[in-house]
Amino acid sequence: MTGKAAALGREPGLGGLAIGAVLSVLVLVWVGSDGYRQTLVTAAATYALVALGMYVPYLMAGSLSMAYGAYAGIGGYAVGLLSTKTSLPLVLAWLLGPAAAALVAVLLGLVTRRLSGFFLAAVTLLFGMAFTAFLVDAESVSGGSGGLGNLRELNILGWTPSHYQVVVGSVVVVCVIAFLLDRARLSAWGVIVRTMRDAPRAVEASGVRVPVMNLVALALGAAIAAIGGGLFTYSAGSVTPDTFTLNIVFLAIFMPLIGGGGTPWGAVAGAAIAVELTLNFPAIETSGTLVLALGVLVILLIAPRGVIGYADQLRRRGWALSRRGRDG
């Protein structure tokens, strides 16, 4: 794929962006002024950003950190704190939140640098739980279990975006980050990170310090998840310790697998499917997670490489059939 794109002189990642942009426009048209649909899309964008954050260390570098609820929470509380405790421009929260989340990810990565697999997942899971407990206890900072509410509205040089514009902004941010990650995945940097998953000794022997690159991947992923947390908090108008629980992490693990295709767009597609199945599926209302579990099973049975992988397979088959038809 990399080589072919290069050989054809095409800009890598543009195909994914084009499809993502078209689908996004269709979704935004479907949303319109419907408040419930706007909430659904904001939730999907948040899930997508958490899943995109996890994509970098988990699917590219092969390191399963489960602290992404905490990173999204840091982004969310950055918006909440800046809004309620300071008079600083609120837009700064999307700089400070991701920076703080990246710093925490680096510190946690340093502490857990000798762990991998199950033990890394277990320790980072504990960290996520401890973070939630901290938010409940640190009442003077976080507002305790009631969280932070009555948040200020964004004011960018006198312009305050409407709720629909925030939804559009969320979708645009998801598309831009997925596009940039896709290009980074195909670049030399991406080759190094992806080789770390299967052949870390080769990366080390080539001159890249694997534990340090792992920290960079963790920091990048945490920053992306924090952007999502900030968007969700702003859109909801409040944040509590229960806003970013472990649920979101478990869902985010499955999203790239459902979406598949080995690209960041798979995480985005997976997030859209997860939100549809858990929150908008016309079945028994309280059984969203059960529907998602069944949906994941069905999707992975029919399409082990995820929805995008399956669509790609169909496209290739159709292309081969049409060529055979032309030749015959």
Partner 1 sequence: MAEDSLLHGRGLIKRYGGVTALDDVSFHLDAGEILGLVGPNGAGKTTLVDLISGAQAATAGELVLRGGKLSGPASRRARAGLGRTFQYPQLALELTVRDNLLLGRAARRHATIWRMAAGAVLGALRPHPPADREAVEALAGELGLDGLDRLAGDLTLGEQRLVEVGRALGQDPVVMLLDEPFAGSDAQGVLGIAEVIRTVQRRGHAVILVDHNVDLVADLVDRIMLLDRGRVVFDGDPRECLASPQMQVVYFGSPPEAEELDQETGQIGQEAQDVRS
Which residue ranges make up the site for partner 1 (CB under 8 A)? 1-6, 12-13, 180-181, 183-184, 186-192, 194-195, 197-199, 201-210, 212-213, 215-216, 219-220
Least distance (Å) from partner 1 to the CB of residue 198?
Answer: 5
Beta carbons of 248 and 111 less than 8 angstroms apart = no
Q: Which residue's CB is nearer to partner 1, number 193 or number 303?
A: 193
Closest residue by Cα to residue 298 from 275, 273, 265 = 273
Of 7 and 157, which has the nearer Cβ to partner 1?
Answer: 7
DSSP string covering 55-69: IIIIIIT-----THH
User: Minimum CB separation from partner 1 for residue 182, in Å?
Assistant: 8
Quote the least distance from Cβ 289 to partner 1, whole Å: 31
Taking the least distance from each CB to partner 1, the nearer of 213 and 271 is 213
- Closest Cα to residue 63, out of 212, 239, 269? 212
Give the E-state strand segments of the chain in sequence order.
Answer: none
Give least dist CB 94 to partner 1, A. 17
Query: Rounded CA gap, 178 and 15, in Å?
Result: 12
| CA pair distance 217, 113, nearest whole angstrom | 13
Residue number, 198 or 285, with CB nearest to partner 1: 198
Shortest Cβ 49–partner 1 spacing (Å): 16
Nearer to partner 1 by Cβ, of 189 and 281: the residue is: 189
Beta carbons of 271 and 47 less than 8 angstroms apart: yes
Are 116 and 63 in contact, with CB atoms under 8 Å apart? Answer: yes
Q: Are 125 and 117 in contact (CB under 8 A)?
A: no
Strand partners, 55: none
* Half-sphere CA count of 81, side-chain side, radius 13 A: 19
> What is the distance between the alpha carbons of residues 195 and 62, in angstroms, rounded to a whole number?
9
Q: Quick one: 40 or 181, whose CB is closer to partner 1?
A: 181
Q: Looking up tokens 């095409």, which residue turns up?
A: 10
Under 8 Å between Cβ of 221 and 54: yes
Smallest gap, in angstroms, from Cβ of residue 177 to partner 1? 10
d(CA 254, CA 237): 28
Closest distance between partner 1 and the C-beta of residue 93, in Å? 21
Q: Based on CB atoms, which residue is closest to partner 1, 167 or 183?
A: 183
Nearest to 220 by CA among 247, 181, 269: 181
Cα gap 310→106, rounded to integer Å = 36
Using the minimum distance from each CB to partner 1, give the nearer residue, 147 or 306. 306
CB of 267 to partner 1, least distance (A): 16
Give the residue with the Cβ less far from partner 1, 202 or 320. Answer: 202
User: 3-state DSSP call for residue 239?
Assistant: strand
**Shortest spacing between CB 110 and partner 1, in angstroms:** 12
